[in-house]
């Protein structure tokens, strides 16, 4: 069974500063990896995904993530954070069988200070 760990419950960064959100996964086969963002009281929106190929993937809103198989990690980065990026971010791993279940991490809440 797959699992996802997001070690940081919350992170505070200054507007304009760089951001890195950590994600480690556990899955016995090739993982399908995702990052989603959730604004309060709303559903989740996909930021980016990794299925295969280039290990550095670009997403929406200026986000990128790098897949590192040796470290079982898929960290999310942004070079310059905007106040509108304040939200909760979820890393997820999808299985290749069994209804393609997608398992989510506990999330990291991002606070942006002026």
* Sites of contact with another protein (CB under 8 A): 6, 32, 34, 41-46, 49, 51, 90, 92, 94, 96, 98-107
- CA torsion sign for 58, 59, 64, 70 is negative
CB of 95 to another protein, least distance (A): 9
Considering beta carbons, is residue 14 or 96 the nearer one to another protein?
A: 96
CB of 107 to another protein, least distance (A): 5
Considering beta carbons, is residue 22 or 49 the nearer one to another protein?
A: 49
What is d(CA 15, CA 114) in angstroms, rounded to the nearest whole number? 6
Considering beta carbons, is residue 8 or 15 the nearer one to another protein?
A: 8
What is d(CA 20, CA 108) in angstroms, rounded to the nearest whole number? 11
CB of 74 to another protein, least distance (A): 14
CB of 44 to another protein, least distance (A): 5
What is d(CA 67, CA 32) in angstroms, rounded to the nearest whole number? 10
Considering beta carbons, is residue 77 or 109 the nearer one to another protein?
A: 109
Task: Compute the radius of gyration of the chain from its Cα atoms.
Answer: 14
Count CB neighbours of 48 within 10 A. Answer: 18
């Amino acid at each position: 069974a797959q699992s996802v760990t997001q070690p940081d419950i919350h992170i505070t960064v200054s507007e304009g500063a760089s951001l890195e959100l950590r994600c480690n996964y556990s899955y016995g086969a090739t993982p399908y990896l995702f990052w989603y963002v959730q604004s309060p009281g709303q559903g989740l929106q996909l930021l980016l995904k990794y299925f295969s190929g280039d290990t550095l993937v670009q997403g929406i809103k200026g986000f990128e993530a790098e897949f590192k198989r040796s470290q079982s990690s898929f960290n999310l980065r942004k070079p310059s954070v905007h106040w509108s990026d304040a939200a909760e971010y979820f890393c997820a791993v999808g299985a290749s069988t069994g209804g393609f279940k997608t398992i989510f991490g506990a999330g990291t809440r991002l606070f942006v200070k002026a």
